[in-house]
Each structure stands twice: as C-alpha cells, then as structure tokens.
Amino acid sequence: MPNKLNRRQFVAAGAAVGVFARGPQVITRGVKPVVVAAGNGNRSKNSAGLTCVAKAFKMITEGSDVLDACIAGVNIVELDPEDTSVGYGGLPNADGVVQLDASVMHGPRKSGGSVACLEGVRTPSLVAKKIMDETDHVLLVGKDAQRFARLMGFTIEDDLNTPKSRDLYLEWKRRTDPEHYLNPKDRAELGYHVALEMVAEGKIDPDHFHGTINCNAVNSKGEICGTTTTSGLAWKIPGRVGDSPILGAGLYVDGEVGAAGSTGRGEANLLTLASFQIVESMRQGMHPKDAGMAALRRIKSQTISKRLLNRRGEPNFNVNYYIVNVKGEYAGVTMYNSNGMSSFAVCNEKGPENVKLEALLNGSAND
C-alpha cells in the first residue's frame, strides 16, 4: 500500500515542485558585498579621503541603493581636475571641446539610461541616471541632452577644460596641424601618432588616452548595478561616440547574473558588444575571469584590419574588463599587461586595494 503524505510533507513537496517548474534559480544569500572599478577608481579622493570604490562600498554597506553608491563613487573621479579621462578636465575633442558620455544600469529595476556628446556638465553619470528615472527613454545625445540636463537643474558651464587639459590640447594641436592645411585623412592619422608620442613621452597617462572609469558593485542581497563614464578618446573627431554610453558595449548589467564594464578601445567593444557577451557567458555558468577572457579572444579573432595589428599580427590596442557576478565573484582582465603593473580597483570588507589585471596576451600592444 502506498505511503501516505501528511499535510506538512504535502506542502513541502508542492513547494519543491514549484521551484523546479520555474527553472534554475540564482541563490544570493550570504553574498559578500564588493565594488570593482577601473584603476582610477582607487586614485582620486574626496574631501573625506575616500576613493571611488571606498565611497561606493561604504554607502552599500550602510544600506544605500547600489547604483546610487556606484555613481557617488565615480562622481569623485568626474570632479577631479587631475584625472584627464573623465568629467571635468577630461581631454577634449579635436576642436578643443570636452564632450562627455556615460551610462548606468540598475539590475533589480531592470532599467538603464545613458547620455552621449554632453557638453557643460561635470557629472554625466548623474544625467544618465536622470534619463533612466525621469523619462521613458534610454539614450539622449548632444545639445538636446544638455537641454534636458538644464531642465533637470544641472549647472551648465561654458567650458569644462582645465588649464592642464587645455595645455595638453594646445601641445597636440601644435604638433599635428602647424599650418592648418592638412587634409582630414592625414590630419586624423597624424593626430593619432602624435597622441601616442605624447603618451610615450609621459605627457599623457596611457590609461587616460582612451579615458573612462567603469564601476560595478553587488550588495549582501545580491543586488547588482553599474555605471561607466568618460570624456572619450583624447582629441577624437567631434561627435564621436565610443562604447561607454552604449548598453551592451561599455556596460551591461543583468540583475540575475552580473555586471561587466570596460575601458580601452571603445570601437572594439562596439563591434562585439563585449560587455553583453561577458554577462551572457556568466549566465551559462562561466566564472567572471573566464567570461572576460572569452570576450578578449573574440575581439582578437575579429581584429583583421592591418592598421589595427602589430608586427605579431595581434591587436595593437588594449581593452580592459571589470566584472562581478551576483555571488560576489569578480575579475579584472586585459588584452595586455606588458609591465605587469596595470591593475583594477576593488573594495570589500578588507578595504580598497589595487589588483593586477590578468592578461590574455604576452608582450605589449605596440610590439
């Protein structure tokens, strides 16, 4: 005779069936909070002496919304005039105008917002969040993005250059176009090579030539969010938009899986939607490091233009990814870490620290 179930056994069995019917579930209990960011996320400090990752971690552990914490962290970098890759004092475009891009994504709310070619606002990450919060849209650009920011109460400045960024621009200008008669193609090629010369001479931080800071975080509930903000490629063609404000390229967050963001050559991310790929790889069970390496391998295989290859036939540019999943596992990976010194920023219960980026390829991009 079959065994009979009592009421408690029947209820428990029914609950188990319901769980399996819904498919695999992500278990996030006991997650250790962590914040990951680009290397400049542990450099600039606010008046309290906190860096981006330290500020974000403090807010998260005090109960703040994860996205609010990430944005508060990158605001420190956006407002730092010494960081020439982000916000105020970011290196301008070829016309000497600072144009900023940013994106945000909120995992629990399954939403995002972004802004591109924004002029006159020091903190584009906050404008991106306003687009997410106050509109039914995701991306606003150019003068209309500035108009929206003004309507939202942001201060609009005539010029976001600092004496440092303006002097660097003038130096680039003198080297690239002394007679003002170069045709556009020659001017663009010369401009790029002169910029690399200035990097080699130590006038520009190599990490700041392409610019950008990405910051992603997860709290003890497994809630995950991220933001990316940048002044873009130094001396870019006016109107150029890189990967940072494009969801899936410079930033992607799935609240049930994880987050990934990038710095480096934005065009490579745009052509592969690498941040989206990384999150999807984690969805299939990959560790953050393995997912990041898979994205780098894809970029390597898709880079076939001779102008983008070094003498070894490998990419002559760098790309970095900062990755965290809902379990609190994280990684920072790069195409090259030639001197072994390139790092990303992490903050957890041990405090803020710099962690070495793990490289896909040996040597350097320009070998």
**CA 313 – CA 45 distance, rounded (Å):** 40
Which letter does DSSP use for residue 323 in this model? E
Which of 28, 51, 123, 212 is an active site residue? 212
- CA 1 – CA 338 distance, rounded (Å): 72
Residues 249-261 as b/e (b if ≥16 CB within 10 A, e otherwise) read: bbbbbbbbbbbbb
Report the amino acid identity of residue 159.
Answer: D
> Which of 284, 294, 287, 270 lies closest to 329 in space, CA to CA?
287
Annotated active-site residue 212? The verdict is: yes
Amino acid at 293: M
E-state strands within 220-318 = 224-230, 251-254, 258-264
DSSP conformation letters of 120-145: S-S-HHHHHHHHHHHSS-SEEEHHHH
Output DSSP code: residue 180: S
Q: Are 259 and 225 in contact (CB under 8 A)?
A: yes
Q: Is residue 317 within 8 Å of residue 297, measured between CB atoms?
A: no
Question: Which residues lie closer than 8 Å to 43 by C-beta, 6 or more apart?
Answer: 51, 77, 83, 345
What CA–CA distance (Å, rounded) separates 256 from 329? 14
Catalytic residues: 212
